[in-house]
Amino acid sequence: MLAGLCSSAHAAEVKVAVAANFTAPIKALAPGFEQATGHKLVLSYGSTGKFYAQIKNGAPFDVFLAADDETPIRLEKENGIVPGSRFTYAIGKLVLWSAKPGYVDGKGEVLRRNQFKHLAVAAPKLAPYGAAGFEALTRLKLLPALQPKIVQGENIGQTHQFINSGNAELGFVALSQVYKDGRIISGSAWIVPSRLYSPIRQDAVILAHGQGNPAAKALVDYLKTADARKLIKSYGYDF
């Protein structure tokens, strides 16, 4: 009881900008974090590029969980983070996914057959998974043929919605959006070989606004624990 009272007395709130691909994992992590620390998470989801613009315009986020490492490095160079706080919290994987069972084959040949109307990909300038999707199509030498069929979501969450709703038959999303505990949870998918795109290193930082916020430091520390890493890995991420 005494420990609980001490925790409550020092409880704080941490505002977190979360890359859309990490929506499900952070929601799953939240109860354990809040129970262990007494702090409260206030979560916002979106594209890494849009979050960068918001942060530069003074948005009061304390922690940024980006979908790449380039944006946090940029903020670090611009003195926008707490020094020494940047670290890689996950390495993401790209997947070609359809909400229809059996539609995407295990080798991605559905792309070469080119018998669909729409292929959803997140905007590459805003979303690292979108950039990875375009990179994979380029390396497969399929981009010129498929370019007219591409519909772009502003982030990976909207891209998933395009496919899930049937507005696009298939598309590139984060594995974490369609994967849990070792299996694809719906539809059909091809996990894109890592050789076809640059590593998606996802870095976390404590932003300048979070300087001195104990909840911000606690969240970053919690993401490094064995329990948190086990849960993150269950969504298909590497480290």
16: tokens are 């977190």
Q: CA nearest 19: which of 158, 136, 194, 121?
A: 158
Model pTM score? 0.93
Residue 204 belongs to what H/E stretch? strand 200-206
Q: What are the boundaries of each domain within the chain?
A: 2-91+200-234, 93-196
Neighbours of 23 (CB within 10 A): 20
In whole angstroms, give the CA distance from residue 130 to residue 27: 23
93-196 to CATH, choices 3.40.640.10, 3.40.50.720, 3.40.190.10, 1.10.1060.10:
3.40.190.10
pLDDT exceeds cutoff 60 at 25: yes
pLDDT score at 11: 87
pLDDT score at 159: 98
Model pLDDT for residues 136-146, shown as the tens digit of each residue:
999 999 999 99
Model pLDDT for residues 33-54, shown as the tens digit of each residue:
999 999 999 999 999 999 999 9
Q: How far is CA 54 from CA 17, 58, 222, in A?
A: 10, 6, 25
pLDDT exceeds cutoff 90 at 19: yes
In whole angstroms, give the CA distance from residue 96 to residue 153: 15
**What is the CATH superfamily name and number for domain 2-91+200-234?**
Periplasmic binding protein-like II (3.40.190.10)
Q: CA nearest 66: which of 41, 84, 49, 43?
A: 49
Average pLDDT over residues 188-205: 98
Exposure b/e, 51-61, CB count within 10 A at least 16 = b: bbebbeeebeb
How do beta strands 119-122 and 87-92 pair? unpaired
